[in-house]
């Protein structure tokens, strides 16, 4: 199939995938059938792995770490593998994007852009592998020399979500590999295909057996067992805050493994009257509709200066009404399908709740019947108060609630009035206001007069209940290392016993 063709169709039959452990493909397990959320036809068959399969994967990762087949290589050698992987990804870009669309429901044009970002992640990871270093202390006197070493933490368990199956995977894997760690990956059971395809890519790139292992299955079985596993040194989890909390308990109850958590968000976009309102309206529409709002950094709370609130909401509603919702395999589509039936029901439930609580519907507000699949029109609520559920809960769908403010202090207070702190955006032409808001709003990622901008050079992560730790860039490599202090005595020891 030509995956770059403008007339893509779902496959005639579902593709069966095995699972990948110690450099080999395994099968013979019960299969889970995944139907395309945009087309309603079966597209993939994924193995329902067992706890025994997970144990084999962890054991393979442990052997690969302990015999130093990967950690013992130079940063240059590890970087070379990552660069070869980037080249293979570039060659297979359209194929991988196609599978992202089939299982997730996101538009094909978006998916292709995401794969470009993933290629960049491997290229940045390759450079980071060569630059990772420790430190030295020449200030301990003539008789003592100090060194600080960064060593890979060991076996990493990686649990990824269904909203960005490949992008989130690639914002972690090259940086974990750059550190010298080995890993066991558990993708979402509804979007496992591209995680398994990456196994093919890394094997072709020359990654040693056992360094990258993939075990598929449900979060309640395989995910829980991975988070509890006593031979996993660190767990990286991306998903809901509720499940992240269970990972904290599992880590504490097993081996106190280190955790990296990227969790929920209820992210503000703050619009001042002196901003470019046309640009801000377009960014707000994009920020809530990208990936059908199934995005942890979606700008789901519009905090707009009262003097222009009505004007801005009208312009924004007009923008949102023009968004092209449709078949995710159509290159013209901007918003695709909701990924799961359960999430579709959650989103529609919050829209109904917002209306029941008295919020005014200005755009969207319901499901779209396109003949097959689950689609929801990008939705805008006005007259929202901070106490409403649509203003407090992470809906994880294309639902934006608007709240007015009068002063900078009120804008900051509204922005911080959440248990989350993942991302935020501010729109103003006044540099004083821009920097004041940037410094006072508690969020791990911040955009000034832009939305979801940046690349893998910059760290990703949240404040408060949005998580722990940082991914990507040099911070993301260091996250998967331990720091060791080394003291070297020079000359003869001064004896304690006379």
Condensed to tens digits (0 to 9), the pLDDT of residues 301-313 reads 999 999 999 999 9
CATH class entry, domain 15-263+466-484: alpha beta
**Residue 276 burial by Cβ neighbours in a 10 Å radius (0-12, 13-18, 19+):** middle
Establish whether 262 is a catalytic residue: yes
Query: Of 228, 262, 305, 313, which one is the catalytic site residue?
Result: 262
Per residue in 186-207, pLDDT (tens digit) is: 999 999 999 999 999 999 999 9
Per residue in 56-91, pLDDT (tens digit) is: 999 999 999 999 999 999 999 999 999 999 999 999
- What is the number of other CB atoms lying within 10 angstroms of the CB of residue 136? 11
98 is written with which tokens? 């196609």
Establish whether 189 is a catalytic residue: no
- Bridge partners, residue 345, by sequence: none
SS3 string, 30-92, reads CEEEEECCCCCCEEEEEECCCHHHHHHHHHHHHHHHHCCCCCCCCHHHHHHHHHHHHHHHHHC
Query: Of 247, 296, 394, 478, which one is the catalytic site residue?
Result: 296
- What is the number of other CB atoms lying within 10 angstroms of the CB of residue 40? 13
Which alpha helices (DSSP H) does 236-394 contain, by range?
241-253, 277-289, 309-321, 341-356, 389-392
180: nearest Cα among 141, 216, 223, 150: 150
Indicate the CATH number for domain 268-448: 3.40.309.10
Q: What is the DSSP string of 86-130?
A: HHHHHHTHHHHHHHHHHHH---HHHHHHHHHHHHHHHHHHHHHHH
Q: What is the DSSP string of 140-180?
A: S-TTEEEEEEEEE--EEEEE--SSSHHHHHHTTHHHHHHHT
**pLDDT tens, position by position, for the chain (498 residues)?**
677 777 789 999 999 999 999 999 999 899 999 999 999 999 999 999 999 999 999 999 999 999 999 999 999 999 999 999 999 999 999 999 999 999 999 999 999 999 999 999 999 999 999 999 999 999 999 999 999 999 999 999 999 999 999 999 999 999 999 999 999 999 999 999 999 999 999 999 999 999 999 999 999 999 999 999 999 999 999 999 999 999 999 999 989 999 999 999 999 999 999 999 999 999 999 999 999 999 999 999 999 999 999 999 999 999 999 999 999 999 999 999 999 999 999 999 999 999 999 999 999 999 999 999 999 999 999 999 999 999 999 999 999 999 999 999 999 999 999 999 999 999 999 999 999 999 999 999 999 999 999 999 999 999 999 999 999 999 999 999 999 999 999 999 989 998
Domain boundaries, the chain: 15-263+466-484, 268-448
pTM for this entry = 0.96
- What is the number of other CB atoms lying within 10 angstroms of the CB of residue 45? 16
25: nearest Cα among 215, 218, 170: 215
């Amino acid at each position: 199939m030509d995956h770059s063709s403008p007339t893509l169709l779902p496959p005639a039959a579902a593709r069966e995938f095995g699972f990948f452990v110690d450099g080999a493909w395994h099968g013979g397990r019960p299969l889970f059938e995944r139907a395309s959320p945009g087309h309603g036809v079966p597209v993939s068959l994924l193995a329902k792995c067992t706890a025994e399969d997970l144990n084999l994967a962890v054991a393979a990762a442990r052997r690969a770490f302990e015999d130093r087949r990967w950690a013992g290589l130079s940063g240059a050698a590890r970087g070379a593998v990552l660069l070869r992987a980037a080249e293979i990804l570039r060659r297979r870009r359209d194929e991988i994007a196609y599978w992202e669309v089939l299982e997730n429901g996101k538009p094909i044009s978006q998916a292709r852009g995401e794969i470009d970002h993933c290629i960049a992640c491997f290229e940045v990871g390759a450079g980071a592998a060569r630059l990772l270093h420790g430190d030295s202390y020449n200030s301990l006197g003539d008789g003592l020399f100090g060194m600080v070493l960064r060593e890979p933490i060991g076996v990493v368990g990686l649990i990824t979500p269904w909203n960005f199956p490949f992008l989130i995977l690639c914002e972690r894997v090259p940086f974990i590999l750059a550190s010298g760690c080995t890993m066991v990956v558990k993708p979402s059971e509804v979007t496992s295909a591209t995680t398994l395809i990456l196994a093919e890519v890394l094997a072709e790139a020359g990654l040693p057996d056992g360094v990258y292992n993939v075990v598929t299955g449900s979060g309640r079985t395989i995910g829980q067992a991975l988070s509890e596993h006593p031979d996993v040194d660190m767990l990286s989890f991306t998903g809901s805050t509720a499940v992240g909390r269970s990972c904290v308990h599992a880590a504490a109850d097993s081996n106190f493994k280190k955790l990296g958590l990227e969790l929920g968000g209820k992210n503000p976009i703050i619009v001042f009257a002196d901003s470019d309102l046309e640009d801000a309206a377009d960014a707000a529409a994009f920020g809530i509709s990208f990936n059908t709002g199934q995005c942890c950094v979606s700008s789901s709370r519009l905090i707009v200066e009262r003097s222009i609130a009505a004007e801005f909401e009208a312009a924004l509603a007009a923008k949102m009404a023009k968004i092209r919702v449709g078949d995710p395999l159509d290159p013209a589509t901007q918003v695709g399908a909701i990924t799961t039936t359960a999430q579709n029901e959650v989103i529609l439930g919050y829209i109904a709740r917002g209306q029941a609580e008295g919020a005014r519907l200005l755009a969207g507000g319901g499901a779209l019947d396109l003949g097959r699949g689950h689609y929801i029109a990008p939705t805008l609520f006005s007259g929202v108060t901070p106490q409403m559920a649509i203003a407090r809960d992470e809906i994880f769908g294309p639902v934006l609630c608007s709240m007015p403010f009068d002063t900078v202090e009120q804008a900051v207070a509204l922005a911080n009035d959440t248990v989350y702190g993942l991302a935020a955006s501010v729109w103003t032409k006044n540099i004083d206001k821009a920097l004041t808001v940037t410094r006072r709003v508690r969020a791990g990622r911040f955009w000034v007069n832009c939305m979801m901008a940046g690349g893998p050079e910059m760290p990703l992560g949240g404040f408060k209940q949005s998580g722990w730790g940082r991914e990507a860039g040099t911070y993301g490599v260091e996250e998967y290392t331990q720091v060791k202090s080394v003291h070297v005595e020079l000359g003869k020891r001064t004896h304690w016993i006379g």
